[in-house]
Amino acid sequence: MAKTISLLGSTGSIGRQTLDICREQGIKAAALTAHSNIGLLERQAREFRPQLVAMHDLEPALELAKRLAGLDIEVAYGLDGLRRAASLRSSDTVVTAVVGMAGLWPTMAAIEAGKRIALANKETLVCAGELVMEASRQYGAEIVPVDSEHSAIFQCLQGSKDHGEIKRLILTCSGGPFFGLSREEISKKTKADALCHPNWTMGEKITIDCASLMNKGLEFIEAMRLFRVRPEQVSVVIHRQSIIHSMVEFRDGAVLAQMGTPDMRLPIRYALTYPYREKSELPTLDLLSCPPLTFAAPDLEAFPCLKMAMDCARTGGTSCAVLNGANEAAVELFRRERIAFGRIPELVARALDAIPSFSSPSLEEILEADRRARECVAEAVR
């Protein structure tokens, strides 16, 4: 169970909910970091009195230092600030709630410092999963997933002694706001449409990924890496009600599911209290009043992002970094309303076509693949 955490991305959706769990469970925060939200980071720092806070850029860090003067809180910035937060001696657990590939370096720093990692930042595992998992074995840094599907699988696997018992992981998917529409209809959707998720409230990037089903594609790769299974052992099923958070089918035919009301604080709490379960105020799941649980196959025609991610999962190598880098760049353009929704899969496909993939890449080669993918997207819209 975590006693003191470093929370990377404390001002985001996962970050704020993590602090709710800290309040509830009396967990201390030794480090808090943000990109640019000075106001919220200041309030969080005043409440939690961490040893260190870090911002992305120097200017906001200087402003924050001015505001926190006299509180004995060190203020850092940039990659160095994130890395220091991730490897702080006083933290036993690092929560990686930064969005995007930017999470890679601090995750590596936390692993090298042998911390337990409560991992929300899925992009890191998608791009460099094999290297990250290998490093975590080498340094004895345990990774506990925060993503609700992976937490569900992790929970279902407690008590399973032999990895060979796993036959299949079944990721559930709400289907997002555009479920049931054709590719043509989806391609014209606006930012406001994409930000309307039926069951979860999350940061903008992941909400847009949920609308394109790229999120499920990233989770497909994340599941392979975290649980060391082959792509044929992962499947995706549409489950509109988000009551079953994912399942594991074992070789004897048993299927275990983790169920509950959709609330990210459950997987966050579990990641922080693991291997124990602590009391919460979460409303009891009332099976008699919940809607019928339904299941359907995903429509890979209408949601090409999911199909591309599943293909990259099979190809492996640098293709996953290209997929992720191109998607991050395309989603950013969509967020700024520079491109239509339908261009997201187009731009990702273009990058995957243009950049050849190769296997067993080094970290530098992964970063290079990511850079080239972003450049390819920028070039296409120039």
Give the interface with ligand NDP as residue ranges (CB under 6 A).
9-15, 34-37, 56, 97-99, 102, 120-123, 147, 200, 202-203, 205-206, 264
Do 122 and 101 touch, CB atoms closer than 8 A? no
Partner whose footprint covers residue 151, from ligand NDP, Mg ion, none (CB < 5 to 8 Å by kind): none
CA–CA separation, 141 vs 154, rounded Å?
16
**Pairing of the two strands 166-173 and 234-238:** parallel
Q: Residue 98 CB, nearest distance to ligand NDP (Å)?
A: 4
- Nearest 10 degrees: CA dihedral of 362, 381, 218, 291? 170
Report the residue number, 146 or 166, with the smaller CB distance to Mg ion: 146
Question: Per-residue DSSP letters for 245-270?
Answer: EEEEEETTS-EEEEE--S-THHHHHH
Give CA–CA dist 271/1, Å, rounded. Answer: 8
Cβ contact 117:110 at 8 Å: yes
Angle between helix axes 214-227 and 319-335 (nearest 10 degrees) is 150
Report if residue 209 touches Mg ion, rule: CB under 5 A.
no
Shortest distance, position 118 Cβ to Mg ion, whole Å = 14
249 binds Mg ion (CB under 5 A): no
Residue 122 interacts with, from Mg ion, ligand NDP, none (CB under 5-8 Å by kind): ligand NDP
Of all residues in the shown chain, the one whose CB is closest to ligand NDP is 12
Nearer to ligand NDP, 19 or 302 (CB): 19
Closer to Mg ion by CB, 56 or 225: give it. Answer: 225
How many other C-beta atoms can be found within 10 angstroms of the C-beta atom of residue 297?
9
The CB-of-97 to ligand NDP minimum distance in angstroms stands at 5
147 lines the binding site for Mg ion (CB under 5 A):
yes
Does the footprint of Mg ion cover residue 328 (CB under 5 A)? no
Measure the CA–CA gap between 377 and 333, rounded to whole angstroms: 9
For residues 153 and 312, which CB has a smaller minimum distance to Mg ion in the complex? 153
Which two structure tokens, joined as six digits, stand for 219? 């989770």
Please, what is the minimum distance in Å from the beta carbon of residue 221 to Mg ion?
A: 12
Pairing of strands 28-33, 93-96: unpaired
Tokens of 72: 């004995």
Report, in Å, the least distance between residue 10 CB and ligand NDP: 6
The one segment of 80-88, 98-106, 143-151, 356-364 that binds Mg ion by CB under 5 A = 143-151
Whether the bond between 275 and the residue before it is cis, its omega within 30 degrees of 0, is: yes
Nearer to ligand NDP, 268 or 350 (CB): 268
Based on CB atoms, which residue is closest to ligand NDP, 13 or 172?
A: 13
The binder of 330, among Mg ion, ligand NDP, none, by C-beta within 5 to 8 A per type, is none
Q: Which does 264 bind (CB under 5 to 8 A by kind): Mg ion, ligand NDP, none?
A: ligand NDP
d(CA 309, CA 213): 10
The nearer residue to ligand NDP, 309 or 350, going by C-beta atoms, is: 309
Min separation Cβ 83 and Mg ion, Å: 26
CA distance 204 to 259: 25
Shorter beta-carbon distance to ligand NDP: residue 35 or 191: 35
Find the shortest distance in angstroms from Cβ 216 to Mg ion.
Answer: 8
The pair of structure tokens assigned to 126 is 């998608």
Helix (H, G, I), strand (E, B) or coil at 361: coil
* Contacting residues toward Mg ion, per CB under 5 A: 147-149
